[in-house]
């Protein structure tokens, strides 16, 4: 009934423009942006107040998933069955991967309600889960570390990871979520990247990046030079929860992943300050679907605190080189080792 009253008030406002109801405002709630399949989440509304000091009701809806709203609090501050409540909503997300819209409504008789929406994406790491069409088969060569499978490819005497390093010993997951570690890989500072690879593997030096590019047909770019026309051979035409991660750009051409290294445009991070626990609570992320950035092992001579990284741009055919702060710039890591 509470939901019906709220909808009736909104309908009345829509039908008669001459009548403008006073509005509730300030509604917010917290919930994670990324969760694992079947995750149980509690969301608690806050911030909304009745202008006259009276009670405010709350109801929720998750789409897809719920056919009708769930009222958690009436205007008298009780649940529909008469129990005290703060309006919290407990929800278990589906096992189905994808993005869900969570909507919270605040309502009060005689007022236009307030609405707050957030999006929660159910993700799963591993081969052909959230990220698909990566050009890797289950029987391809791989090794497992900390429960994560790393497929690898041999190129010119080196074995290369075919996915981004996802070790949670350091670095940060996309948007700060560990559940994204085995989806996009983690973002590491240069100092972390030097030590992050599993035992026996290492961060590739600039010379090793250039040798890999030469092995797939690139012209000699010179050390720290731009490698021409290799983006299509390095990128893979993958999808994230069934959404294409790359557009077609004529200057890049058809994405072939000829290198079999399956680079993904998962962007980079401005890590910010590291806290006492080794985390990055203020990390910012940019370039998703646009950039792929990877640390080299080379520091920049004559520039204290800077190191080189290699990067691709989705609409550019070349493989560029950049300089990043060794503490605050976060890039992906591909590990290499000498082939036996």
Q: How many CA atoms within 13 Å lie on the side-chain side of 290?
A: 7
Mean pLDDT of the chain, nearest integer: 94
Question: How do the domains of the chain map onto residue ranges?
Answer: 2-122, 131-338
pLDDT band at 14 (very low <50, low <70, confident <90, very high): very low
> In the CATH scheme, what is the code of domain 2-122?
2.60.40.2470
* Predicted confidence (pLDDT) at residue 19 exceeds the cutoff of 90: no
pTM of this prediction exceeds 0.85 = yes
Using the CB atoms, write b or e for 96-112: b if 16+ within 10 Å. ebeebebebbbbbeebb
pLDDT at 240 over 70: yes
Percent of the chain with pLDDT over 90: 93
Count of other CB atoms within 10 angstroms of residue 157: 10
At residue 231, φ and ψ (nearest 5 deg) are -55, -40
Closest to 234 measured CA to CA, from 309, 319, 160: 319
């Amino acid at each position: 009934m509470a939901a019906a009253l709220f909808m009736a008030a909104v309908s009345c406002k829509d039908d008669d423009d001459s009548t403008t109801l006073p509005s509730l405002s300030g509604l917010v709630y917290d919930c994670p942006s990324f969760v694992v399949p079947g995750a149980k989440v509690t969301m608690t509304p806050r911030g909304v107040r009745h202008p006259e000091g009276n009670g405010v009701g709350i109801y929720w809806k998750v789409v897809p998933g719920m056919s009708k709203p769930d009222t958690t609090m009436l205007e008298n501050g009780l649940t529909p069955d008469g129990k005290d409540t703060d309006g919290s909503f407990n929800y278990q997300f589906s096992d189905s991967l994808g993005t869900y819209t969570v909507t919270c409504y605040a309502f009060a008789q005689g007022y236009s309600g307030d609405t707050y929406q957030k999006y929660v994406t159910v993700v799963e790491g591993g081969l052909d889960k959230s990220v698909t069409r990566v050009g890797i088969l289950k029987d391809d060569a791989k090794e497992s570390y900390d429960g994560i499978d790393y497929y690898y490819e041999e190129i010119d005497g080196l074995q290369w990871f075919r996915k981004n390093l996802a070790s949670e010993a350091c670095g940060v997951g996309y948007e700060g979520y560990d559940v994204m570690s085995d989806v996009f890989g983690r973002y590491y500072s240069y100092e972390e990247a030097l030590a992050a690879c599993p035992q026996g593997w290492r961060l590739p030096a600039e010379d090793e990046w250039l040798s890999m590019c030469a092995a797939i047909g690139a012209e000699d770019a010179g050390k720290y030079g731009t490698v021409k026309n290799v983006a299509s051979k390095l990128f893979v035409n993958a999808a994230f929860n069934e959404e294409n991660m790359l557009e077609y750009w004529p200057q890049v051409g058809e994405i072939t992943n000829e290198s079999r290294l399956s680079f993904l445009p998962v962007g980079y991070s401005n890590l910010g300050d590291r806290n006492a626990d080794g985390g990055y609570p203020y990390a910012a992320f940019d370039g998703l679907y646009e950039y792929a950035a990877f640390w080299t092992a080379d520091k920049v001579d004559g520039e204290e605190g800077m190191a080189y990284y290699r990067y691709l741009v989705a609409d550019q055919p070349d493989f560029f080189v950049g300089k990043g702060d060794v503490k605050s710039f976060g890039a992906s890591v591909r590990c290499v080792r000498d082939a036996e």
